[in-house]
């Protein structure tokens, strides 16, 4: 399993334990804000990545929003820091 896949698995596992993520995904947010995990130096170091809200768009009359994956520069894992 590649390093990026490991980070995504950690994010997914944390999100599955959070009921607030379901509510957050049901509404539209300002681009640049964090989806998951919660902003903390511990999460940033241990998980190594995060999901941020992206641009909003409308398709077939429905409003959607992109979600962007981003690595954290504070990651403890040296292989993440090197990317």
Which residue ranges make up each domain of the chain? 3-75
For residues 22-60, b (16+ Cβ closer than 10 Å) or e, as one string? eeeeeeebeeeeebbbeeeeebbebbbbbbbbbeeeeee
Q: What number is the average pLDDT over the span 11-17?
A: 74
pLDDT of the residue at 59: 93
Q: Which is more confident, 36 or 16?
A: 36
pLDDT of the residue at 22: 64
Q: What is the pLDDT of residues 31-75, one digit of tens each?
A: 888 888 888 888 888 888 888 999 989 999 988 888 898 888 888
pTM for this model (two decimals): 0.68
């Amino acid at each position: 399993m590649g390093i990026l896949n490991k980070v995504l698995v950690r994010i997914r596992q944390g999100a599955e334990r959070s009921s607030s993520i379901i509510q957050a995904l049901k509404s539209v947010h300002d681009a640049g804000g964090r989806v998951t995990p919660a902003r903390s130096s511990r999460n940033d170091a241990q998980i190594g990545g995060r999901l941020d809200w992206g641009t909003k768009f409308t398709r077939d009359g429905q409003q959607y929003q992109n979600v962007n994956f981003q690595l954290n520069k504070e990651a403890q894992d040296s292989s993440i820091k090197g990317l």
